[in-house]
Amino acid sequence: VKPGAKTFAVLFDSAGGSSVASQTVEYGSKVSRPKDPVRAGYAFQGWYTARSGGSKYDFGKPVTGGLTLYARWRANVYTLSFDANGGSVSPGSRSVAYGGAYGQLPAPSRKGYTFQGWYTAKSGGSRVTAGTVMGDRDVKVYARWASASTPVKPTTPSKPTTPSKPTSPTTASTVAMFRLYNRYTGEHFYTSSSVERDSLVKVGWRSEGTGWVAPVSGAPVYRLYNPYVAGGDHHYTMSVRERDALMKAGWRSEGVGWYSGGSVRVLREYNPYARTGTHNYTTDAKEDTALVKAGWRAEGTGWYAVKAK
């Protein structure tokens, strides 16, 4: 840098990747292209002028002011393979983006046996579920079986005791819907599964508490997953037509996420400038108004929730 020259700071936001040093650049000079940052489970896509949206930065362009450049990432896609371990299963594998949940797992079959679940090893290992999150490598899981004809050794009955009067059972009529946020992709995710919530928190998602309270029965809200965008993306809808259209476009159905019912409106907003996290759902009218002011499009009521007690 020449003495007295007008200079500007150029900052690099690696968005979860390895750190990149800032540069001081003279007016009219060019930014030196730094070494690409690295991030486990992701492929670097280049430097952009905005965290989301924006344009890819041209390092041949002269600097006329201070700027911050943002790393753009694409989640690597890995193969989840299913070993039926003596049975049969379809499909035999699927693609899952890094950080994405496995989704609904196929049910294998084997004559004379009862399926016990999918595990990380043929014997031992740990059980995997729809909420298990994909790491940074291909995974094979194994069906676990129990013989349907294995006799159970009888036990000597214990001396009977006088039973106490049973209490009246209570049946849960509602379930809390957990809300999580991925600051790297901008996606909000919603689930009633505490196991799925905890798995996502462990890989960097931020828990935002309870989004709303859903009934345990009613009109279904369908959950879909797009494995082809960075970090994956989920969408939720009551519309069978919208669900089917997304599936034709390559989205993967993950069944019924929860049910609609009650008097509380769950509002739906759309961000036309984002590639992931394109929709937001909230019962908070103030949040809805703030997002619309920021450029999101109000899409009315997505479904209904139960009033929290």
The answer to whether the CB of 78 falls within 8 A of the CB of 137 is: yes
Query: What is the model's pLDDT at position 157?
Result: 54
pLDDT on residue 172: 60
The model's pLDDT over 129-186, given as tens digits with 9 standing for 90+, comes to: 988 888 889 999 999 998 876 544 544 555 555 555 555 544 568 889 999 998 878 8
Res. 217 pLDDT band, cuts 50 70 90: confident
User: Among 28, 60, 75, where does a domain finish?
Assistant: 75
Q: Residue 87 maps to which CATH number?
A: 2.60.40.4270
Same domain assignment for residues 188 and 273 = yes
28 with 81, same domain: the answer is no
Query: What gap in Å lies between CA 124 and CA 8, rounded to an integer?
Result: 58
Same domain, 51 and 113: no
205 lies in the same domain as 301: yes
CA 222, CA 238: separation in Å to the nearest integer?
6
Residue-level pLDDT at 169: 47
C-alpha pair distances (Å), 212 with each of 137, 148, 177, 179, 183: 35, 42, 5, 9, 21
- 223 lies in some domain: yes
Domain boundary among 147, 163, 194: 147
The secondary element (H helix, E strand) that includes residue 285 is: helix 285-293
* Residue position matching structure tokens 């014997």: 123
Using pLDDT thresholds of 50, 70 and 90, give the confidence band for residue 1.
low
Nearest to 258 by CA among 186, 200, 306, 205: 306
Q: Decide if pLDDT at 308 tops 90.
A: no
What's the order of all strands across the beta sheet hosting 139-147?
Answer: 93-97, 77-83, 139-147, 113-119, 127-128
Task: Say what the pLDDT of residue 186 is.
Answer: 84
Q: What is the pLDDT of residue 166?
A: 52
Structural domain containing residue 293: 175-305
The contacts of residue 239 (CB under 8 Å, 6+ apart) are: none
Q: State the total domains in the chain.
A: 3
Please check whether residue 161 lies inside any domain of the structure: no
Q: What pLDDT does 156 receive?
A: 56
**Mean pLDDT on 79-102:** 93
User: Rounded to the nearest 10 degrees, how much is the dihedral formed by the CA atoms of 241, 234, 224, 229?
Assistant: 100
Residues 121 and 15 in one domain: no
For tokens 């990432």, name the residue: 73
pTM of the model as a whole = 0.48
Give the whole-angstrom CA distance, residue 22 versus residue 26: 13
For residue 199 the two structure tokens come to 């798995």
Q: In whole angstroms, give the CA distance from residue 119 to residue 170.
A: 34
